[in-house]
Structure 1
Amino acid sequence: MAAFTVDTKLFQELGELLVAKEATALVELIKNAYDADAEQVTVHGTYLRDAANGQIVVKDNGLGMTAEEFEGGFLRIAGRSKITSDRKSPVFGRRYTGEKGVGRLAAHKLARKVEIYSLKAGHAERGAAELPPTTKIIRASIDWDAIEALETLDQIAKSNAVQLNRRIPKPDRVLESGTTLTMSPLRRGWTQRMIDAFLKEAVTLAPTQVLWDRLPDGVVSEPLLFKQVPVRDQLSSDPGFRISFTGELAVPEVLAPDVAESASWIAEMEFERVTGLLRVAISPTALAKRTFPSSEGFRFDKKLAPGSGPSFRARILQRSGTTWDPAVQGIRVFMEGFRVPPYGDSTDDWLGVDRSYKSRAHRTLTSLSNLDIDDLPDGIENEELVLQGNSAYMGAVFLHRSSSPELDMLVNREGFLPGPGLEFIADWVRVTTDLIVRLGYATRREVKEVKREVRERQRRAAERADVSETPSALRVRENAQAAEKHLNSIRTALQAGDYARAAEAASAAQPHFQDIRALSDEFGSEAVMWRVLASLGTELAAFVHEINALALEAGTIVAELDEALPQLRTGATRSGVQKARKTALALADRIRRNATYLVDATSFKGRRRRSRLPLRERLEAVLPLFQTRLATRRIELLNEIPADQRTPLMFPSELAGIFTNLVSNAVKFAGEGGRIKVVGHVSDGMMKVTMENTGVPVDLPRSKRLFEAFQSTTERPDAVLGQGMGMGLTITRAFVQEYGGTIEFVPPTKGFSSAIQFAIPVR
């Protein structure tokens, strides 16, 4: 009768095939400890560079083994001990990380012999919080060289290659259960490169705490999805699993202090394969908000087809303009809390981020171009130019074996078989990283708030400037004159051959060129916007003439009605004509008031001379423009600015522009029967004006975004006020910043919903 025989060379073949490298072998032994319900596993290495004397010890405090379990499990290649109905560990209910029954071949990969000392725990019910003490003990050893010296596997039983001592007396004292594997001598001495590679891999064997634990309070400005990300599929009573590396395998601390606080953006995502619901939430950190105050997060829920891909959860931390420590950079994949290489390695680009970084072009992000998501932020031209590589991200994608049947591990434990399941995860993780890029770039492209030192320079320039020029014009002129003077000095020194004096003059000129460049950066980016407004302004003269013509025509109608009144015979007719005459007079008066305001605010006279303007009167001067809307909506406007309060030296048109834009917004949002209150005072060397209104409140944490260009505060056009262009607050801020001032939304007083305050320095 014929039968199969198996050559002992099988161990060598399988060991090399299924366990790619020493680091992978140790990971497999650590996973075995996890599957055995251990709370702690320690990996200790000594004399690793010396193969003959080197030793690796893996010790855990798990369930341990009986003699029968050792023979039927550890010694059975491709056994079925982990293929149970629920594939979970006996006590803590952990989802098994191994399934092929070849993990013990890792010991063959590492050393020529392995000694096993195992203390078997007593019986415990599923869901217990701890393991019982030891009840049985075994010792065993495997001599791999002796096995391979034999011809077939069936000869092992009659040799001394595998020894088992099952008759160790029951301990007379309480002992903690667990298994210790002592592997020596090593198959080869570990080079420094091998040790470094292992240490690098050991750092990310389990996810860094910041990638799954509760984020510190105040790190993110907007709520994300999780308090803690579920890393493993386990019972709530599970005490957890810790890994320690000691001896020559001790892992140095990762140089990444305050990692969450040093991130710029944090994203979390989740997909449930049963329901098909995908959720993504992205938030700027406190650091990003300090650097770019108008940074805003984004979140969306998207219903996909159930079973579109494996269930997964992820947390990603991004740093703008810099990178993470090499030990933790990259977005890695974890199955049941254990790293699945190579995803996220420095040489692995499973998301295509590095490839896009190297080939980025002048375009919007392609992964977002056809994305069907409500309220998706619009792309900005050239946003792909600011892409960063994998080193800017530190992230983790968490998978559970029970909810990711599409993913099959390669036999060498180096990744999953290619397929739609892995592509599904990669596509949506890439969408999330690109959304971070888009949100960050949109924030950096906004009209920036002027910094304190710039405000101080503007303030000093406002004090020195002539009444007929702007502070910015003075700064440009003074810097240009100073730079010209130093250039003349350089020319004279070079002609005389005095190179030292020429170098001194060049150094003296540099700050003036820097100031001119700063002015260009601050105001030059708005040049196109101002040209658009100027082109509209050129039409204003004809518009004012047209308004005046309408006023004259209205006056003519009144005169004609006056002539017609004596000829009317019936009282009813005379009453109707008198009513029409009254309406025409009101129309003519309204047209004249608006024409007067437009001329006052936009004529050359309004830009000819700066003076200390009566603040209260200048507010009253713009109110006629809003009189109709105030009356129609029954809005009460209270002008509580002191009668004697005056501004610093300003152009009348600038103050008119400030009040016009602020009153316009207040009227739009005050609501029917609402109220608007304007107060003014001087404190701390600043003239401060606060305008409050009832109605729709402003979200203070996001209010700085309203000062960006084209961020309109209204979506529906108003019959009188029109539809916002999104320029009013941008222009108002430019007026205020011209004099070194600030403008911001502030908490309103009782009875009001929103308040905005501008402050301009006074002498």
Structure 2
Amino acid sequence: MGVSFTVDTHVFRELGELLVARDSTALIELIKNSYDADATEVIVYGHSLSNKKVSFIQISDNGTGMTESAFSQGFLRIASRSKEQGDRRSLRFKRRFTGAKGIGRLAAHKLAEVLKVESIPGSEIGSTIGVKAKIDWALVEQYLTLEDLASEDKSLAVIVEPKPKREKSKEGTEIRLERLRRSWSDRELLRFVSEVQSFSPSEFLINPTKESIKPYSFLLQSPKISDVKRTAPFVSKLQGDFATGENYWPTFAASADWFIEIDAASFPNSIDYHLIPTVQFRKAYPTAKIQKHSIRRDKGKSAPSFQARIIVKEGQQGGGPLKEWAAANSGIRVFMEGFRVLPYGERSNDWLQLDRSYAERGRTSPYLTEFGFATSEEPDDRDALLSILPNRSYYGCIFLTQEGAPELEMLVNREGFIPNDSFESLVSLIRLGIDLSVRARAAAKAPKSDRAMLIPPPLPELPAEIIEPETLEVAVKSLSGVRELIAKGQVELARTALEASETRLQSISKNIDTESAMLRVLASVGSQMSAFVHEINAALGMAQGVEKSIERLLEQEFSAVTRRELNRALKSIADLRRQLERQASYLIDVNSPDARRRRGRVSISSRFDSAERLLQRVAEQKGVEIVSSIPEGLKSPPMFPAELTSVFTNLLTNAIKAANRGGKVSASGRAIESGGASVRIENTGIRVDLKDSERWFAPFESTTTSVDSVLGQGMGLGLTITRNILEQYDCSISFVKPSPPYTTAVEIQFAK
């Protein structure tokens, strides 16, 4: 009898979670299908996305469409090879396919329970029969295996029917996603819509008006966005809940300072840089002029071919809607074949290390040095890099094509590129352009005839309460006061207040540097954990050997006193062995490659149990009872198991400390309507004031002031690390009102 493989129907869920990291990426994968089908227009409509009961998403295009057989062989076949045949280009416009393995269609499963498809083929297909199909993923997963599904003649789980092309039929495909899997919160919906709106580069950054830089011209007349052999438009229209707001690009560009352009595609042996000051900047600094640089390609030989256009804007980005728009559109984003590659350009993503350089405020640039742009000792050059700007001051696009960047490999979940040599070279070449612009901007502001301008004026004598380092909130409020003073014409008072605000911000920056240094120390300690695990296991082996030796000794004849001492030693070594076993089990749990290699939907109760086992001995020594009623079926969003174990270890450690001797710690959980889970950890110890509870999530704010005899004194980083881990996965944590008889409660809201 032959042996064959079977495939569980849950493969769709597992592959969807693994290969498509976020909802917006899932939708963009479906839009890419329209591009690959030679559509010139795609309409993406979102209906009532905040209401799960009536919401749906519809993607309509005017592409070449599909026949029934094409749908079955392409859409219904996982890892289809249909896009790997020939030269991997589309039929009509010879576009380079944006997908290679046909996995993108699993995005539909990630977003909704029901997928409906109607498609009419174009003339290139050679058929007048299209397809009408419906896939109900919930019904599919009622079957144990795909073989079971295929063996049933008439299944409602997958329905595929021919759709004849009629006289007035429009060519193209319509995909409708119904019974969406989640109801987005306002914050989640804002992020989702924002990411979808940014899936293609801004038209302004592709073809900006020359008014803002006249009399200069742009280096890139028409950037190469995608690899096509026949020019054809691809217009995306976002409607319904996806509709974009007002276009502020022209208004924003009028107040911009510089344009940075990089051409690493037009010439095989050189990479060109143009740094262009805007009309607005030249009005303020008349000595500013266009700067042109070129380096040999062999200095960046492993880099991909690419083109880039970046706008630099210092200071506040206006107010009201313009300010909100600027915050949403800031960052340097990456586009492959015209489609955005997340997470590059997001607020929290520092892929070019700009925020880090801004915080460190160094006087040297490794990128300038690497490519032979030495920094002179002249004051206007030596201090130039002190004026580097953070990510929020840059607005730009990096344009890549698959032909020009063959060594850039996408991560399996579509979340960025593998950090290989090609990617590192790309980063270096872009940072070179940015650092050259920093130097050009500083030189324009501080010409050699007036070098003293680089040296800030001395701070006037101010009352101590004005210059005392404060919180960021206070500094921001004081800057608002500066604006009011300027509006009233009180310029001198405004200058004094502005200098006081600068002092505050410098103090805050120093605090951030201190905290960053501590986190780097902790990261270094963490890197030694693997070696420590081996040491623990070695100690465990010795403890087990000593325990067995004492047991063998007790089989011999000894006096009552000696036997009593041996029994006491046996009990101590057994306790030590059990304690080492718990520690070793925990360390292996969080440090093993499997715990950090791949994200997955983790059992919340099993991760809590792992943390509880580690702290069980500590709880017993303090007389604290731990009770857990977290249901076994609750799952986290896709994350590393080690991360969730660390979250519960931090929370349990705090709860045991707070509960004091004879106290009680309770853990409970429940499923929530959005499809996620809610977990609450409560204790009977010291009450936390809910009005002041957010302070305990700040770094180095410890709830303990005395050293616990068992657990020691905390560093004040546990809750900070816990929140940072959870927020990466759109989860939240906060102190909430406890249920009797408990006095303090922390609640985690897990996303789906």
Q: SS of the counterpart of 1:299?
A: strand
Cα 1:8–1:242 shift into 2, 3 Å: same
Instruction: Please say if residues 120 and 163 of structure 2, whose CA atoms lie closer than 8 Å, have aligned partners that are also in contact.
Output: no
SS at 1:184 equivalent: strand
* TM-score (structure 1 length as normaliser): 0.55
Q: Name the CA distance, whole Å, in 2 between partners of 1:38 and 1:444.
A: 48
In 2, Cα distance between equivalents of 1:108 and 1:329: 31
**Structure-1 residue corresponding to 2:601:** none
Question: Which of 311, 314, 317 does residue 308 from structure 2 map onto?
Answer: 314
Tell whether 2:191 aligns with 1:197.
yes
Q: Following TM superposition, by how much is the alpha carbon of 1:2 offset from its aligned partner in structure 2, in angstroms?
A: 0.4
Q: What residue is the counterpart of 1:207 in the other structure?
A: 201
Distance 2:364 2:64 in 1: 55
Match of 1:371 in 2: 371
Please tell me whether the aligned partners of residues 128 and 164 of structure 2 are also in contact (alpha carbons under 8 angstroms).
Answer: no
**Separation in 1 of the partners of 2:197 and 2:58?**
19
Provide closer, same or farther for how the CA distance between residues 512 and 350 of structure 1 changes in structure 2, counting only shifts above 3 A. Answer: closer
1:51 aligns with 2:26: no
Structure 1 residue 115 displacement after superposition? 1.0
Which residue number in structure 1 is paired with residue 403 of structure 2?
402
- Does the CA contact (< 8 Å) of 1:8 and 1:148 recur in 2? yes
**Whole-angstrom CA distance in 2 between matches of 1:446 and 1:61:** 56
State the 1:48 CA deviation: 2.1
Structure 1 residue 220 displacement after superposition: 4.3
Q: 2: distance between equivalents of 1:230 and 1:445?
A: 36
Name the structure 1 match of 2:276.
283
The corresponding residue for 1:266 is 259
Distance 1:295 1:316 in 2: 18
Q: For residues 412 and 370 of structure 1, do their structure 2 counterparts lie closer, same or farther at Cα, with a shift above 3 Å needed?
A: closer
State the Cα distance separating 1:136 from its structure 2 match: 2.5
Contact in 1 for aligned 2:68/2:129 (Cα 8 Å): no
- State the match for 1:244 in structure 2: 237
Selected match of 2:155 from 160, 166, 179 = 160
Q: For residues 427 and 351 of structure 2, what CA distance do their matches in structure 1 show?
A: 7
Alignment of 1:372-387 (within 5 A): 372=372, 380-387=381-388
Query: Against the structure 1 CA distance between its residues 370 and 60, is the aligned structure 2 distance closer, same or farther, given a 3 Å change threshold?
Result: closer
Question: Any residues of structure 2 matched to 1:79-90 within 5 Å, and which?
Answer: 79-90=80-91
Aligned to 2:13: 12
Write the deviation string for residues 263-283 of structure 1: whole angstroms up to 9, x where unpaired: 211111122498242111111
Q: Deviation of residue 375 (structure 1)? A: 11
Q: How many residues are matched?
A: 446
* Corresponding residue for residue 101 of structure 1: 102
Q: Structure 1 CA distance, aligned partners of 2:419 and 2:238? A: 33
Q: Give the Å deviation of 1:367.
A: 3.0
Counterpart amino acid of residue 130 in structure 2: I
Q: Is the 8 A contact 1:144 1:161 kept in 2?
A: no
Written as runs of structure 1 = structure 2, the 5 A alignment for 1:693-712 is none
Deviation string for 1:297-337 (max 9, x for gaps)? 21122212284211110011111334470121111100001
After superposition, the C-alpha distances for 1:402-437 in whole angstroms (9 at most, x for unaligned) are: 121111111111101111111111111111111111
Alignment partner, residue 348 of structure 1? 349
Shift of 1:347: 0.3
Contact 1:220/1:283 (<8 A) preserved: no
CA distance 1:333–1:170, shift in 2 (3 Å): closer
Instruction: For 1:403-482, list aligned pairs within 5 A.
Output: 403-446=404-447
Go from structure 1 to structure 2 and tell me whether the alpha carbon gap of 1:396 and 1:377 turns closer, same or farther (over 3 Å shift).
farther
Q: Which among 117, 125, 142 is matched to residue 135 of structure 2? A: 142
Say if 1:397 and 1:376 are closer, same or farther in 2 by CA, change over 3 A: farther
After TM superposition, the structure 1 stretch with the greater mean CA deviation from structure 2, 4-13 or 197-206, is 197-206
For 1:389 and 1:297, locate their aligned partners in 2 and report how far apart those are by CA, in whole Å: 22
Q: Which moved more, 1:408-417 or 1:245-254?
A: 245-254
Aligned with 1:151: secondary structure?
coil
Amino acid corresponding to residue 292 of structure 1 in structure 2: Y
Q: Residue 64 of structure 2 aligns to a residue in which SS?
A: coil
The 2-side partners of 1:226 and 1:381 are apart by 31
Distance 2:365 2:420 in 1: 25
1:388–1:155: structure 2 CA closer, same or farther, 3 Å change rule? same
Matches within 5 A, 1:295-314: 295-305=288-298, 307-314=301-308
CA 1:84–1:262 in structure 2 vs 1: closer, same or farther (change >3 Å)?
A: farther
Q: Secondary structure at the match of 2:407?
A: coil
Q: In structure 2, what is the Cα distance between the partners aligned to 1:285 and 1:392?
A: 15
Q: Distance in 1 between matches of 2:18 and 2:355?
A: 30
SS of match in other structure, 1:310: coil
Is 1:188 the counterpart of 2:189 in the alignment?
Answer: no
CA-to-aligned-CA distance 1:130-154 (integer Å, 9 cap, x gap): xx9x933321111101111101111
Equivalent pair of 1:224/1:267 in contact (CA under 8 Å): no
CA distance in 2, matches of 1:512, 1:321: 18
Structure 2 CA distance for aligned equivalents of residues 516 and 301 of structure 1: 41
Q: TM-score, normalised by structure 2?
A: 0.56
5+ residue gaps, structure 1: 125-131, 450-509, 518-763
Task: Tell me if 1:70 matches 2:71.
Answer: yes
The superposition leaves residues 628-661 of structure 1 with CA deviations (integer Å, 9 ceiling, x where unpaired) of xxxxxxxxxxxxxxxxxxxxxxxxxxxxxxxxxx
1:634-645 counterparts in 2 under 5 A? Answer: none
- Structure 1 pair 90/286, CA: closer, same or farther in 2 (3 Å)? same
Distance 2:157 2:494 in 1: 81
The answer on whether the counterparts of 1:220 and 1:284 sit within 8 Å (CA) in structure 2 is no
Aligned identity (percent) is 37
Q: For structure 2, list consecutive stretches of 5 or more residues without a partner in the other structure.
A: 318-322, 451-488, 497-752
Q: After the TM superposition, which of the residue ranges 292-301 and 151-160 deviates more from structure 2?
A: 151-160
In the TM superposition, residue 86 of structure 1 has moved relative to its aligned partner by 1.7
Offset from partner CA, 1:162-189 (integer Å, 9 cap, x none): 4445443441x23221111111111122
Counterpart AA for 2:11: L
Deviation of 1:35 after TM superposition, in Å, equals 0.6
Partner of 1:216: 210
